[in-house]
Structure 1
Amino acid sequence: MTILHSKTLNHAEYAARKKEPKLYLLLSFFIPMIFLGIGLVLQDVHPFGDRQILVTDFWHQYYPFLRLLHEKLQSGGSLLYTWDSGLGTNFLSMMAYYAASPLNLLTALVPESVLREAVTVELLLKVGFAGLFFALFLKGTFRRNDFSLCLFSVMYALCSYILGYYWNIIWLDTVALLPLVVLGLVYLVRDGKYRLYVIALGLSLFSNYYIGMFTCIFAVIAYLCLCVFYLRPRQLSGRTLAMAGCSLLGGALAAVVLLPAYYGLQLTYSVNNVFPTMVQFYENWQTLLANLISYHAPTSKDGLPNLACGVLSLVLMGPFLRSGKIRIREKIAAILVLAFLMVSCNCNVLNFIWHGFHFPNMLPYRFSFLFSFVLLTLAYRGFQLVLEEKLKIWDVLAMLVMAFLVFLVSYHIQENRAVYWSLITALLYAVIILLYFRQFFNKQLFCAAISIVLAFELFQNVKLGTEEVSTSDYASYPTAEASVDALLEEIDAQDDTLFYRTEMSTWYTLNDPALYGYHGLSQFSSMANESISKWMLALGLPASEAGNRYYYGGSTPVTNMFTGIRYLICRSGSVLDNREWQSIARDAGCTAYKNAFDLPIGFQTENDLASYECQPDGNPFENQNTLFRLATGIEQPLFTAVEVRDVNYSGASALKNGYGNYTYQAETGAVNRSLQYNYQTQRISDLYGYMTVTGGTNVTITRDGAFLSSYSISKQPYIFPMGTYEGNETAGLTVALPEDATSGIVTVYVYQLDQDVLTEGYAKLSAGAVTLTEFSDTRLTGTMTAQEDGLCYFSIPYESGWTAKVDGVRTDVTPVGDAMVAVPISAGEHTITLTYKPEGFVVGALCSGGAIVILILLYVLERKRKRPLLQPIPEKPKPEELPAETETEETAS
């Protein structure tokens, strides 16, 4: 980080500055937008083709949550809570990570039918703002207003970090705002102006607290550098106090989302990370340095850090390091910052600290855009020397040396095409600067020549980046949307209750409720409550604590009762457990079902339910038996295990280690390898299965050898229905082994459901059902009649933000399994009210409101005093600017 000293403007200069043309700022905004827009057009992105920018987590997470925010903005729903994800979740903390971008407010102006196009435009705007804000940073820091702003701002807006991670649209606001934060620091230290820093930092943290955390760390580094560049020792304490106060004020501006997000994070799996015990380095240093060149695909998911930001930035490091016009301490500080960021990308301990004491899952080195920012700032300093100073031949030689160093470092490391093209580009830049130095070019031709080479380089990088990130099909997202919408409308027309839940028999994304717009169970989010994931995993639903997900797949009557699932939509095929589901509507191959054993969001259970403990590593059928017994008081088990009648192994053998537990060994050279387990009951029974196989991806269900259905078991295992069987029918479970399989573990459970026990338990639980009389995003009220003392269980994820009143009296909420809400009740008729307010929201709102008030008061105070609160640092005059008769103490002595 290096900053050019320059004098404070007087009133006349400031007035003239206000009249400066804004052309270069506009170009800095529109050029990167146009470049990336062309790249997307070449990828056939709609409306110029049949593709879309939704890929990976953008496809699974970001767009569904943006659609959910869009719905709330248009309908006036609460931003504090949503029922369209994870049975109900803290929407404010989720929004703080996924959807807090101020640009998202603009989506409220468009209908949902064009929301994906609006999101594409939003992406282009964010990239444009990255260029504009970097240009503002250069203009305000170095006090220039010429075409050089466009050159370097475009390199920042189209650096490899943005080109590789632009699909991670939720990060781009804070990446774009970084230059404004640093410019605010420059104004604070150099000029005594604090407002830009406070507002930019607050907006950065508000837009995305996670990337904002990187900005905060870097702000400290940048401030230390600025102290070295500008401050004398006696000025240090005052500016440091000002910087600390302004940082707190900026954080307070965003506290309305920061505090709820902080408390929300305490419920997630990420709080369980362990600090590394040994220092390790990931990559060879030459490999990292070789990633600085252009013309190669950026990292889009896993790989090396995205460090490249244009070959010109590397070439200009030659004049920067060689020039005597730049002070040694500036060079040392700059190289130390670059080295620290580079080491952080390669050292496990620093990487862990940078990411908030957490090792990220995919998308490594999420702070690497800071390296590009620093490198481009140094390069701009070198470019100033080219434009303003009389170059020496040594400067040109330094550029040539840098060009060949780029070649030597990356040769045999990066692909040959990238190495040679980067070398040619570096030489072209050096030759153009040499011709300018020899006055073959005037300044206009010089800038034009540099711009042509840079445009070619950046367009190639954009093309490679958009190809690497890829696209997805536009027309099929989300699948069967029209039919699902029609069925949801039909369900709503048939159901006159205030609240009910729906789910899909198979998942399309892991956030189908948010994507299609219904009250559902599924959630895949970095803010997923770990306790809920364990609860779902224990009940045999697909879930992963470390994967931050739980979602609907398969089911039993027990899981549907305790999660409140009333309706099920099959986008294709039909359900196997048709005694539990009743068909109510069809549309173009999609079918809607109603739960025959439906329970509302709240119902009475035995007091013993409070003692239920989740056993996510246990047998899910036995977990369900325990839950059902504690809730109903019925001792007879609901599920009983069915023993294997026979097995059929092909190309493999297996050793049984106990009920449902096997170790298999694949035969070398076998073409087809599979494991089949056959079961037979003694009476008519509904069967449910659960299976995990090392290397297995799908399990096939057969009845007497005839195909019934198949289920994916490649990631999270779950209970799946197998259908109803007569006593003389054979149920088969078959899984194919991969070609490279050698050995592994098999877990296979098959249980039969006791319909009599189910009917008895359902009658008991439904007798204490809650009838809702009031329902909103953050409040629900219902009445119930309890036959005896017990618990009123609610299928609502437990958080400290929930408060309960029974008959108007505040009552403690009892968590069941540390996961779900329950309220103690006595025998008789009751009115129960549950109210939600995110923990930390009130304090955060007060902090944000207070920060705004403080900023207004400070502004009024400055206007009244007619002078700033902080005085600018007076520039130390150069020796030639001192009056001839002036003597310093040193010269007098």
Structure 2
Amino acid sequence: MKRSVAAKGCTKEKYLLAFLLGFGTMLFTVLPMMLTERGYFIYYGDYNAQQIPFYSLANDAARSGGLGWNWFTDLGSDFLTSYSFYLSGSPFFWLTVLLPRGLVLYAMPVVLALKHGIATLTAYAYIRRFVRGKNAAVTGALLYAFSGFQVYNIFFNHFQDVTALFPLMLIAMEENINCRRKGVFALTVALCACVNYYFFAGQAVFLILYYLFRMRCRDFHTSWKKFFGLLFEAIIGSLMAAFILLPSAMALMGNYRISERLYGADMTAYTDKTLLPRLVQTLFMPADPPAYPNLFSSDYEKWASIGAYLPLFSMAGVISFMHLRRKHWASKLLFCCGVFAVIPILNSLFQAVNSYYYARWFYMPILIMAMMTAHSLDDEENSGFTGLKVCAAMTIAFAVMGCFPAKPKDGEKAKLFTMPEDVLYFWITIGVTVLFLVCSYLIFRRKKKGRLSTAFVVFVTAVSSIICVFTTTLYAANSVTSAREYIDTAIDGEDEVWEPVSEDNFFRIDISADCDNYPMIWGLPTMRAFQSVVNTSIMDFYSYVGVPRDVASRAKLSHYTLRGLFSVKYYYKEKKEGCSYEELLRSTPDSSSSSSSNSADENTDIAIIPDELPDFRYVGETEHFEIYENELYVPMGFAYNTYITKKAADDKGKLQREKVMMKSLILTDEQAEKYSDILREYDPERDTSMSRESYRMFCREKIACSAKSFSFDSHGFTSEIDLDSPELVFFSVPYSSGWTAEVNGSPVDVEKVNEGFMAVRAEKGSNTIVFRYRTPYLREGVIISCISTAVLAVYVLISRRKRSKGDYADHRHFYDYSSCEKIKAAQEYCDSLFNTKA
């Protein structure tokens, strides 16, 4: 007999157990790597290239109060808006700021485990609202915290911040509607908006769907009044996060990546034929690691976060639940999410209708799937065998596909068992899937016989979670040798810096490919960076000179002019066997003619740097790098007395444009007219070749009229320069509306020149130029946040005064089934409640 119960919890909950299991399970999986990697957790790809450098850089910025302009992010960017997608709004990051600086990178795997512990805790709190059995709810929470999505996104460490806190939004909505708890939903909205604005956009869409499917349920006591109250809190919560949302949103406006849209047939069907099969596969098999799609190999969506597998149970519990409860709100919501996943335009709604494909919203329906699985485990009427049969059939189907031959190369014969990119790894994942299916079958069989120990199921789920993490991470992670090389080269490489920068000694460096963000750890400004969210002026500039700038700044050596324009003083070339400077000179008799940097695929390992970068001279080496110094180093801040109009520059080739910039500023027609009294128009036709010799000549000219001092901090910079005549002084600092300037104490206009940088007018004689920086829209955002917080406080106080003493709704849990976890006293109490209501 079904029982419908609506009552407050009367027994001790397992919040602590849920947290410790999540925390301990994750810590156990990373511990072997930590032990072999000197206490660090070194993974691969973006985790090493971004997460570790970002945590290092952001900690340095936070501890020094440098939360304004960050000179170590690409050519310079605003700290708050550049890292609000990654960590500047995350409470987990700010916890690391409390640690001694030397422990921060060691603490990253512990913080990762903490995130999984919090994810398990919050998921348990949500699932318990619908699942009577506490151990079943803990099991479901583990499934959420260690789902394929979570395992995949260890690669993107900051995604775990979002998934850890998301269940709080659903809990708060339920509390608002069913318990009339005012203000909590607004607080969770504000928290999640601060943590990551990109994911917050997707959460808003999911919350709307969630409400629509819950609104007609008998356990969701909504009304128009409650709806508008909920909407009010959603708006107030968003406004409370304006101090980070507003500056971030305005900073993104010029980023071309957010303006890409779907059109025509692309709105209804994916162009990649492997995508839909991969989506199905990830429901029934452990997730492939990022960048390594295995069975359905593809060059697309390699980092799309395609992962949804639930450890141990796969889709067995979900399918059985949907089969038994077709009209349940969770079944309808999950079906709707499935439709959204397979139709491109609907999928794009979770990322502000952007055309780039990502599955980074899957964690939200996965929470519902975890709840459904826990429900199936706890429901006496649910045998689970329907779902097991479907899972078994799908596993067999994928195993058969693994036997297919891959398309042979020319001249080769087709061979069976070659469709997967990595055959061994594929069959390992098939083996893990089969093992879990067998265990699930045994669990559901014991449940049917009434002999199931739910505590044992929790233990088996935790072990299965460990196996899932190991299966993915140990396959994808760097070898121990590579990990230790990364530690020596990147993390400990600061000790080998050839020349450090200081507040009054500024310069930039360039560095070998695959070492993009090492300078972030070392505290060196650099022209090479792997960071997706930077000042949009950087993107404007690189687009104008023909350098691709999607997620990273990686100007090839053929763009040697940029090293002069950006005040690059050193080039750090990573040592590779057989590619030292002396070895390359011996192997290339006529080194001056060996230029390889114009090729499509530049290989800097075999490049002779002095041949590629004019006047870069080998000056020595450290344990891991050869150092080349720029003998034509132009200090930051140098003057121009000539210009070329943007219209004239547009008529030139993109590579020629950057070479022109070393001689003349590129100005708009309005700017050219404004400064016609001090600048003359340059005719680039007389230097049609723009040769290396002309580049050298231009550099010497700029050195002669460069600043004699330059000091900087996160609030701006000060430069001193002596001029023989009034000129425009150029700084290779990305333009932002947050900059203001004074020359000799008088305000001056900050001009955007050279398609992305800044210049100001300076007069004849000695000039002290002061630039000050303020994050655009931060002050306005703070004001909005403060007002919204005050409005919420008043709203909560008024709501509490209006509420009578017994006005709290006695409704936090709703169980519409008989549980397998039967505690006699509790069951009798629930039965009595049911009989009374009946």
Please state how far the C-alpha of 1:865 moved relative to its aligned partner: 5.8
SS state at 1:412 partner: helix
SS state at 2:533 partner: coil
The structure 2 residue matched to 1:130, chosen from 119, 122, 140, is 119
Pick closer, same or farther for the CA change 1:402–1:825 going to 2, 3 Å: same
Q: Which amino acid aligns with 1:291?
A: T
The structure 2 residue matched to 1:242, chosen from 220, 226, 229, is 229
Any idea what the Cα deviations from partners look like across 1:729-756, whole Å, max 9, x if unmatched? xxxxxxxxxxxxxxxxxxxxx9441488
CA distance in 2, matches of 1:829, 1:187: 66
Is 1:532 the equivalent of 2:538? yes
- Structure 1 residue aligned with 2:158: 170
- Structure 2 residue aligned with 1:374: 368
SS state at 1:842 partner: helix
Pick closer, same or farther for the CA change 1:503–1:287 going to 2, 3 Å: closer
Alignment coverage as a number of residue pairs: 733
The structure 2 residue matched to 1:37, chosen from 27, 37, 45, is 27
Please state how far the C-alpha of 1:848 moved relative to its aligned partner: 2.4
Please state how far the C-alpha of 1:422 moved relative to its aligned partner: 4.7
Is 1:485 the equivalent of 2:497? no
Identity %: 17
CA distance in 2, matches of 1:423, 1:529: 49
CA distance in 2, matches of 1:420, 1:571: 41
Q: Which has the higher strand share?
A: 1
Pick closer, same or farther for the CA change 1:551–1:432 going to 2, 3 Å: closer
The structure 2 residue matched to 1:576, chosen from 610, 625, 641, is 610
CA distance in 2, matches of 1:476, 1:224: 53
Q: Which amino acid aligns with 2:105?
A: R
Q: Which structure 2 residues correspond to residues 627-646 of structure 1 after superposition, within 5 A?
A: 627-630=662-665, 641=689
Any idea what the Cα deviations from partners look like across 1:559-594, whole Å, max 9, x if unmatched? 334212244445555651698356777645756555
Q: Which amino acid aligns with 1:26?
A: L
Q: Which structure 2 residues correspond to residues 767-786 of structure 1 after superposition, within 5 A?
A: 769=707, 771-772=709-710, 775-786=712-723
Q: Which structure 2 residues correspond to residues 588-667 of structure 1 after superposition, within 5 A?
A: 588=623, 590=625, 594-606=629-641, 608=643, 611=646, 618=653, 620-621=655-656, 623-625=658-660, 627-630=662-665, 641=689
Q: Which amino acid aligns with 2:772?
A: T
- Structure 2 residue aligned with 1:412: 397
- Structure 1 residue aligned with 2:731: 794
Which protein has the larger Cα radius of gyration, Structure 1 or Structure 2?
A: 1
CA distance in 2, matches of 1:164, 1:29: 21
Q: Which amino acid aligns with 1:179?
A: P
The structure 2 residue matched to 1:817, chosen from 727, 750, 754, is 754
Is 1:554 the equivalent of 2:544? no
SS state at 1:815 partner: strand
- Structure 1 residue aligned with 2:79: 91
SS state at 2:134 partner: coil
Q: Which amino acid aligns with 1:356?
A: A
- Structure 2 residue aligned with 1:309: 310
Aligned Cα RMSD in Å?
Answer: 4.0
Answer yes or no: is the 8 Å Cα contact 1:189–1:226 preserved in 2: no
Q: Which amino acid aligns with 1:106?
A: L
Q: Which amino acid aligns with 1:174?
A: V
Answer yes or no: is the 8 Å Cα contact 2:142–2:461 preserved in 1: no
Q: Which amino acid aligns with 1:253?
A: M
Q: Which structure 2 residues correspond to residues 102-121 of structure 1 after superposition, within 5 A?
A: 102-121=91-110
Q: Which structure 2 residues correspond to residues 273-352 of structure 1 after superposition, within 5 A?
A: 273-278=260-265, 279-281=268-270, 282=273, 288-294=279-285, 297=288, 302=301, 305-310=306-311, 312=313, 314-317=315-318, 320-321=321-322, 329=327, 331=328, 333-352=329-348
The structure 2 residue matched to 1:544, chosen from 529, 545, 548, is 548
Please state how far the C-alpha of 1:239 moved relative to its aligned partner: 1.6
Pick closer, same or farther for the CA change 1:639–1:21 going to 2, 3 Å: farther
Answer yes or no: is the 8 Å Cα contact 1:570–1:592 preserved in 2: yes
Which gives a bigger RCO, structure 1 or 2 (Cα 8 Å, sep 6+)?
2
CA distance in 1, matches of 2:225, 2:185: 16
Answer yes or no: is the 8 Å Cα contact 1:403–1:423 preserved in 2: no
Q: Which amino acid aligns with 1:605?
A: Y
SS state at 1:274 partner: coil
Please state how far the C-alpha of 1:52 moved relative to its aligned partner: 3.6
Pick closer, same or farther for the CA change 1:865–1:305 going to 2, 3 Å: same
Please state how far the C-alpha of 1:503 moved relative to its aligned partner: 0.5
Please state how far the C-alpha of 1:763 moved relative to its aligned partner: 5.7
Answer yes or no: is the 8 Å Cα contact 2:246–2:778 preserved in 1: yes
Please state how far the C-alpha of 1:624 moved relative to its aligned partner: 0.3
Pick closer, same or farther for the CA change 1:201–1:760 going to 2, 3 Å: closer
Any idea what the Cα deviations from partners look like across 1:40-71, whole Å, max 9, x if unmatched? 345x3445679843321122222211110111
- Structure 2 residue aligned with 1:252: 239
- Structure 2 residue aligned with 1:365: 359
Is 1:53 the equivalent of 2:42? yes
* Greater mean alpha carbon deviation, residues 260-269 or residues 314-323: 314-323
- Structure 1 residue aligned with 2:828: none
Is 1:847 the equivalent of 2:797? no
- Structure 1 residue aligned with 2:507: 501
Pick closer, same or farther for the CA change 1:816–1:763 going to 2, 3 Å: same
TM-score, normalising length: structure 1? 0.73
Answer yes or no: is the 8 Å Cα contact 2:19–2:118 preserved in 1: yes
* Greater mean alpha carbon deviation, residues 124-133 or residues 295-304: 295-304
Unaligned runs of 5+ in 1: 642-749, 887-893
CA distance in 2, matches of 1:105, 1:528: 21
Answer yes or no: is the 8 Å Cα contact 1:638–1:754 preserved in 2: no
CA distance in 1, matches of 2:834, 2:698: 96
The structure 2 residue matched to 1:761, chosen from 701, 721, 725, is 701
Q: Which structure 2 residues correspond to residues 457-496 of structure 1 after superposition, within 5 A?
A: 457-471=464-478, 473-477=482-486, 480=489, 485-486=494-495, 488=497, 490-491=499-500
Q: Which amino acid aligns with 2:389?
A: F
CA distance in 1, matches of 2:76, 2:569: 15
Answer yes or no: is the 8 Å Cα contact 2:131–2:375 preserved in 1: no
Q: Which amino acid aligns with 2:332?
A: L
- Structure 1 residue aligned with 2:199: 211
CA distance in 2, matches of 1:626, 1:284: 45
SS state at 2:186 partner: helix
Please state how far the C-alpha of 1:7 moved relative to its aligned partner: 3.1
Q: Which amino acid aligns with 1:850?
A: I
- Structure 1 residue aligned with 2:825: none
Pick closer, same or farther for the CA change 1:758–1:188 going to 2, 3 Å: same
Any idea what the Cα deviations from partners look like across 1:506-556, whole Å, max 9, x if unmatched? 24422233132112222222213454245346558xx423x2321465377
Please state how far the C-alpha of 1:427 moved relative to its aligned partner: 6.0
Please state how far the C-alpha of 1:477 moved relative to its aligned partner: 2.0
The structure 2 residue matched to 1:518, chosen from 524, 532, 536, is 524
CA distance in 1, matches of 2:534, 2:633: 26
Answer yes or no: is the 8 Å Cα contact 1:86–1:521 preserved in 2: yes
SS state at 2:264 partner: coil
Any idea what the Cα deviations from partners look like across 1:764-811, whole Å, max 9, x if unmatched? 533xx3644x63212223343444343221111012221223344443
CA distance in 1, matches of 2:117, 2:219: 34
Please state how far the C-alpha of 1:212 moved relative to its aligned partner: 2.3
Answer yes or no: is the 8 Å Cα contact 2:722–2:764 preserved in 1: yes
Answer yes or no: is the 8 Å Cα contact 2:68–2:79 preserved in 1: yes
Any idea what the Cα deviations from partners look like across 1:425-460, whole Å, max 9, x if unmatched? 556545544544444x2xxx5214534553454343
Please state how far the C-alpha of 1:818 moved relative to its aligned partner: 2.8
Please state how far the C-alpha of 1:358 moved relative to its aligned partner: 2.3
Pick closer, same or farther for the CA change 1:775–1:885 going to 2, 3 Å: closer
